[in-house]
Amino acid sequence: MANKGPSYGMSREVQSKIEKKYDEELEERLVEWIIVQCGPDVGRPDRGRLGFQVWLKNGVILSKLVNSLYPDGSKPVKVPENPPSMVFKQMEQVAQFLKAAEDYGVTKTDMFQTVDLFEGKDMAAVQRTLMALGSLAVTKNDGHYRGDPNWFMKKAQEHKREFTESQLQEGKHVIGLQMGSNRGASQAGMTGYGRPRQIIS
């Protein structure tokens, strides 16, 4: 991976806009949730975007987080005993987390890309993915979520309706006004296309 020098002009402007999206209050909430969900052995990062990035960068904590949302015996990500030190292994660990999060139900639009975290390009996207994961865990309410349920918003759930056969039959006899009825419709006051209105006093 090549070292990337400072960015100038348009790319600097774009990068600063991305950095402004990062929410430090949200960072605190996510750190608290990860510690409660995974246990205190994950440690605590230094405050700020860089500390948060370094804490999550090797993918081990993220893998432990997604594993904690599954019952014992069906953990989707293998967590190495010793954190990986080689760059490609760390990126592979992050990619495994992303796959497991997608399988859990996080939509593709809410997912960050590995370089967003690994190179710190878009830590706001990392926050967005973790928020989506937390919201899903609270919504599923399957007993694996630990922490305050108010930390995340519940996702909207479908509201299935059951109709009896007689209710469905009754609906066939109702004629909506858009289905051929012209009651109340009139052309009073209308003129032909292109002709001025005739006003006679």
**What is the band of 184 on the pLDDT scale with cuts at 50, 70, 90?**
low
pTM above 0.75, yes or no: no
**What is the band of 111 on the pLDDT scale with cuts at 50, 70, 90?**
very high
pLDDT at 1: 46
pLDDT at 133 over 50: yes
Query: Is the model more confident about 169 or about 15?
Result: 169
**Does residue 201 sit within a domain?**
no
Residues in the chain: 201
Read off the pLDDT of residues 86-95 as tens digits, 9 standing for 90 and up: 888 889 999 9
**Does residue 175 sit within a domain?**
no
pLDDT at 126 over 60: yes
Share of the chain above pLDDT 90, in %: 8
In contact, 126 and 117? CB cutoff 8 Å: yes
Quick one: average pLDDT of 94-103? 92
pLDDT at 11: 62
Query: Which tokens is 167 given?
Result: 């209710």
Query: Is the model more confident about 102 or about 159?
Result: 102
**Does residue 89 sit within a domain?**
yes
Query: In whole angstroms, what is the distance from residue 109 CA to residue 142 CA?
Result: 24
Q: Please, which residues have CB within 8 angstroms of residue 136's CB and are 6 or more apart in sequence?
A: 104, 105, 106, 155
pLDDT at 167: 79
Q: Please, which residues have CB within 8 angstroms of residue 103's CB and are 6 or more apart in sequence?
A: 76
pLDDT at 174 over 60: yes
Helix axes 123-140, 49-56, angle to 10 degrees: 60
In contact, 102 and 134? CB cutoff 8 Å: no
Q: Which residue has the tokens 């390009």?
A: 121
Quick one: average pLDDT of 5-13? 60
pLDDT at 159 over 70: no
Quick one: average pLDDT of 16-22? 67
In contact, 104 and 96? CB cutoff 8 Å: no
For residue 108, the enclosing domain spans 12-149
**Does residue 61 sit within a domain?**
yes
pLDDT at 201: 61
Query: In whole angstroms, what is the distance from residue 78 CA to residue 2 CA?
Result: 29
Count of domains for the chain: 1
**Does residue 138 sit within a domain?**
yes
**Does residue 18 sit within a domain?**
yes
Domain with residue 58: its CATH number is 1.10.418.10
Compute the radius of gyration of the chain from its Cα atoms. Answer: 27
**Does residue 2 sit within a domain?**
no
**Does residue 179 sit within a domain?**
no
Query: In whole angstroms, what is the distance from residue 62 CA to residue 98 CA?
Result: 9
pLDDT at 3 over 90: no
